[in-house]
């Protein structure tokens, strides 16, 4: 595949340039097997609808049909489980979890990775974080009956934020 140059102009990045070197949704690291695509996550309702409201041009238009977005405020009612399972961006920055090329965090990295951007060190770091989040699945299996979506709703919503489909548990 011929690399495709992407230039980002949004509220958080001006003239950030990267290349998509893989076809969309292909050639993922063998240890990275998300349950949900970015489009599916947006349609289900994640991040209180606040995420991705000013950067639509970077991603396929199809991702933004039937999505639940709230450009002005974070609205937990737009989340699939109708609860707030997010920490504010300053918290993530304070913890050192935000890489400068993806100032919105893990989901922005995932969207760009899904579309074909590859950055070996950052990809490894984010995949390691994604794998570590899987521990929450064990908690649901221990404490909740299968299919009881009202059990540990915050944990279920947080799993959706990390592309794990907690509806299947």
pLDDT confidence bin for 51, thresholds 50/70/90? confident
Q: In total, how many domains does the chain have?
A: 1
pLDDT in tens, 68-87: 888 888 899 999 999 999 88
pLDDT at position 118 over 90: yes
Q: Is 18 buried (19+), middle (13-18) or exposed (0-12) by CB count in 10 A?
A: buried
Q: What DSSP string describes 104-146?
A: T-HHHHHHHHHHTB--HHHHHHHHHHHHHHTHHHHHHHHHS-T
DSSP classification of residue 167: G
Where does residue 6 rank: exposed (0-12), middle (13-18), buried (19+ CB within 10 A)?
Answer: middle
Question: Which tens digits make up the pLDDT trace of 149-161?
Answer: 999 999 999 999 9
Over range 42-58, report the average pLDDT: 89
Q: What is the mean pLDDT of residues 109-136?
A: 97
- Cβ neighbours of residue 154 closer than 8 Å, sequence gap 6 or more: 81, 83, 84, 85
CA 140 to chain centre: 20
Q: Which domain holds residue 16?
A: 4-168
**111 or 87: which leads in pLDDT:** 111
What whole-number distance in Å separates Cα of residue 121 and Cα of residue 70? 33
């Amino acid at each position: 595949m011929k690399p495709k140059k992407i230039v980002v102009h949004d509220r958080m990045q001006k003239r950030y340039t990267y290349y998509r070197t893989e076809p969309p949704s292909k050639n993922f690291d063998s240890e990275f097997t998300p349950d949900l695509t970015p489009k599916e996550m947006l349609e289900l309702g994640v991040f209180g609808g606040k995420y991705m409201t000013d950067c639509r041009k970077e991603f396929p238009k199809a991702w933004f049909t039937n999505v639940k977005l709230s450009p002005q405020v974070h609205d937990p009612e737009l989340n699939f489980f109708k609860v707030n399972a997010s920490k504010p961006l300053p918290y993530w920055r304070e913890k050192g979890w935000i890489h400068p090329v993806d100032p919105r965090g893990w989901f922005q990295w995932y969207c760009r990775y899904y579309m074909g951007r590859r950055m070996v060190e950052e990809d490894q770091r984010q995949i390691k974080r994604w794998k570590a989040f899987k521990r929450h699945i064990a908690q649901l299996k221990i404490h909740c009956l299968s299919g009881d979506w009202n059990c540990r709703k915050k944990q279920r919503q947080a799993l959706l934020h990390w592309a794990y489909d907690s509806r299947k548990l």
